[in-house]
Chain A
Amino acid sequence: MKASARLVAEAREDGRTRLTALADQAPLLLRQTPADADAGAAEVHLVGGAAGPIGGDAVHFDLHLGPGASVRVRSVAASLALPGPQGGESSLDISVRIEAAASLTWEPEPLIAARGARHRTTVNIEMAENARLTWYEQTLLGRHGEAPGSTLTRLRVRRAGRPLLDHTLAIGPHYPGSLGPAVAGSDRASATTLIVDPTWTDVPPAQRVVLDPRDDAHGAIAVLPLDGPAIVINALAPDGLALRRLLDQALCHRL
């Protein structure tokens, strides 16, 4: 299944964000939902309009946030990547432009890679120097008690024209060595969180986010300050529940 979706957001004169384009195609449907406490932001939920992603599916999603716009993207449920009939890879390409003083929060439910599945997510973000971004993604290899599938996620962010982060996580039986002790080990749940906040230029991220790195049988987590007002939080845990617990504890410490 080939599909594409597009979202364009603009800030109105009263400061509220209006979605000027919201185009979708199954299997990726977009639904604007009432924003909660975060006044002025537009909230969009991703809705799976078909099973999958299934091997062979290719979906493109373009997001463009105009100056001052604020958008939060969530999803109604976890997505389940399944192997395709010809054993091919499924892919999701996300292209994002965040203009001056705009803010994007991306926090969908986890992607679960079922046994035999191969899924690739590629994210390219161009952001202005004073734009804000929270990008959160979670991957679970295999459903409960199931052998792992394989996923590759590449997150590339350029800020003010310079590379800020280029991070690929490829795990699963398709990637040799990735289930070994250097990459994921015996853990089957991983999360990558990127937070870019231009106000951190004045206060170093290390003083903003207080978190004891942890590395034991229940999970591993570390806050990694980038060279810029940004941090990556890397987390690994045996399963989705343990990962959730680990991150909840970490976020409590965020000042």
Chain B
Amino acid sequence: MSLIALLMLADSRLPAGTHAHSGGLEAAVTAERVRHADELYEFLLGRLTTIGLVGAAFSAAALTAGPAGLADFAELDAEFDARSPSPAQRRASRALGRQLLRAVGAGWSGPALTAAAAVHPNGPHQPIAFGAACVAAGVCAQDVAMAAALSSVTGPASAATRLIGIDPDAVTAVLAALEPSIRDTADAAMKAALGPISELPSFSAPRLDISAEHHSTWEVRLFAS
């Protein structure tokens, strides 16, 4: 039951707006920091172990908070905001959270979705929305952490085929090579999610923070972030 829902929520074809975001890859490609599969692997690994881990930990924490502790959504959202110094990334995260709640609301319902939507007028941060969606769909915390960690790299990976004109099979090989790291990240996220909210991880990726600010000023770009 929950596995099917999980696969639906983690599917990039869910109309939640993720296809419009490259997770910082567009800026990295333009700056010629990512030119081929090896550099894509390093980029994705760095993303996974920093903001990927943070997102997965917050998603799992949002799930363990709900439905009994929906009040924690506001605290989680404020803590996630404090971990997102880049205004461009804060905007992108809230836009993605809002779109995810809208898409999920078409198929599932429940107090978690309502509570998450009420967290902020511009929408909750994406990991809080994802955790709330998984509460509504009955997914377990371990699976939430896994799906969130995975999605921190699959979005930019699919953007890579458009941005560097790389062979899609090479991208699949990169993702497959990341599998053990994705599992480790999900385990670390799950462990953190069981602790106090204030101690959730806050790893940052300064290159992504800096380039997100540049990217948001470009007049012509393929991706929103």
What residues of chain A have their CB less than 8 Å away from a CB belonging to chain B?
154, 156-157, 162-170, 175-185, 190, 192, 213, 215-216, 220-227, 232, 234, 236
- Which residue of the partner chain, among A169, A170, A177, A190, contacts B45 with CB atoms under 8 Å? A177
For B179, list chain A residues within 8 Å (CB).
none
**Complex-state Cα separation, A193 to B198, whole angstroms:** 22
Which B residues are within 8 Å of any A CB, using their own CB? 24, 27-28, 31, 33-34, 39, 42-50, 78-79, 81-83, 85-87, 90, 181, 198, 201-211, 213-214, 217
SS of B interface (majority): helix
Partner of B28, one of A157, A167, A181: A181
Closest chain-A Cβ to B78's Cβ sits at a distance in Å of 6
Nearest chain B CB to A190's CB is how many angstroms away? Answer: 6
Cα distance, A157 to B24, chains bound together (Å): 26
Chain B, residue nearest A216 (CB): B31
B49's partner among A176, A185, A192, A226 (CB-CB below 8 A) is A176
Please state if A177 and B206 are interface contacts (CB–CB under 8 Å): no
Q: Is the CB of B202 within 8 A of A182?
A: no
Are the CB atoms of B46 and A234 closer together than 8 Å? no
Contact A213 B82 (CB under 8 A): no
With contact pairs A154-B202, A163-B79 given, residues A183 and B46 touching in the complex (Cβ less than 8 Å) = yes
User: Which residue of the partner chain B has the closest CB to A124?
Assistant: B198
**CB–CB A166/B202 < 8 A:** yes
The residue from A175, A220, A224 contacting B87, defined by CB atoms under 8 A apart = A224
Please name all residues of chain A whose beta carbon is closer than 8 Å to the beta carbon of B87 when the two chains form the complex.
224-225
Give chain A nearest CB distance to B131 CB in angstroms: 18
